[in-house]
Amino acid sequence: MNQEELIINMGPQHPSTHGVLYLELKLNGEIVLDCKPHLGYLHRSIEKIAENRTYTQFIPFTDRLDYLASMNNNLGYCLAVEKLLNVEVSPRAQYIRVITAELNRVASHLVAIGTFAQDLGAYATPLFYAFRDREKIVEIFDEICGSRLTYNYMRIGGLSGDMTAGMDKSIKDFIAYERKMLVEYNELLTYNAIFLARSKNIGILPKELALNYSVTGPNLRASGVKWDLRKDEPYLLYDKFNFEVPTGIVGDAWDRFKVRLEEIAQSLRIIEQALGALPEGNPISKVNRVFRGTGESYMRTENPRGELGFYIVAEGGFNPYRCKIRSPSFSNLAVLPELIKGLNVSDTVCVLGSLDIVMGEIDR
């Protein structure tokens, strides 16, 4: 029996979408024929704001790009400005930057895992588990910088403050705790029969297609491409640490989930090594708050969702002449229509959740 094609709108307020995303779906019954993502509901002119603020004043705005990975955003921008100005950062500041960036990676992946499980109908238990564990990281960040979401901790040339007394013990306790919880997540989700039925062989992303769309991060690695800037283009001190780069085989929604879970374990390894080698010194920035820059620089870092890039052009003023931001979620979302054609509507939510996008960095 022939069925009429139907256009439905998913979002921008649909509870199953991540953020204010509007998907225009063309259906034949329950089967997706085409998908058009519509952006712009969260546009805030972040790049133009950067061009009208001093280099230091723009740091808090980077928190609002990927609000689940604020530390990583701060870091990428500060590294780009430091590259422009040839600013040296103390060894202690670099180690603390690695520690906080990896803690934020763990926190971000926990949210991705918890919300993905909820998208698949696992109700609230995995989500509550994930947010319970994330809360321990948030408490550490609250102590180190006084904020729980938008941290504004990095500074050009260093950090806003040192680690507090006893902070290393709190982080070590969390590492031991989270390693036990990774076993529980595997028992609760990874090999759960219902979870496997909903995510295995759904939304398969071949490696050639991933590369053509410039997909990066866990979504690229889940397709079998072993590319991680921390290994392939090391920045900070990542070349000093021993860790693996998890990859998938099929490139489906389950592989994307599994890669993030394995990356949490690797981040814990990095944090443990960084704590063990943490040198003495002053991590607080000694660079002036206002300065002039000349030239251009581009810096890309491995954020929880992929490669985040900052391209800065300076013409001698107190603020950048141009600031262009390369968003990992933009490329990751662009491939969504390719992944869901021919799937059921219910699988659309699964694939979207497995990509783990944040609209704040897409719209900018």
Q: What is the 3-state secondary structure (H, E, C) of the chain?
A: CCCCEEEEEECCCCCCCCCCCEEEEEEECCEEEEEEEECCCCCCCHHHHHCCCCCCCCHHHHCCCCCCCHHHHHHHHHHHHHHHHCCCCCHHHHHHHHHHHHHHHHHHHHHHHHHHHHHCCCCCHHHHHHHHHHHHHHHHHHHHHCCCCCCCCEECCEECCCCCCCHHHHHHHHHHHHHHHHHHHHHHHHCCHHHHHHHCCCCCCCHHHHHHCCCCCHHHHCCCCCCCHHHHCCCCCHHHCCCCCCCCCCCCHHHHHHHHHHHHHHHHHHHHHHHHCCCCCCCECCCCCCCCCEEEEEEEEEECCEEEEEEEEEECCCCCCEEEEECHHHHHHHCHHHHHCCCEHHHHHHHHHHHCCCHHHHHC
pLDDT tens per residue, range 146-156: 999 999 999 99
Mean pLDDT of the chain: 92
Q: What is the pTM of this model?
A: 0.94
Domains in the chain (CATH in brackets) are: 5-363 (1.10.645.10)
- Among 3-12, 169-178, 217-226, the least confident range: 3-12
Q: Is the pLDDT of residue 1 over 60?
A: no
Mean pLDDT calculated for residue range 161-171:
93
Mean pLDDT calculated for residue range 58-64:
93
pLDDT tens per residue, range 220-265: 999 999 999 999 999 999 999 999 999 999 999 999 999 999 999 9
Q: Is the pLDDT of residue 18 over 80?
A: no
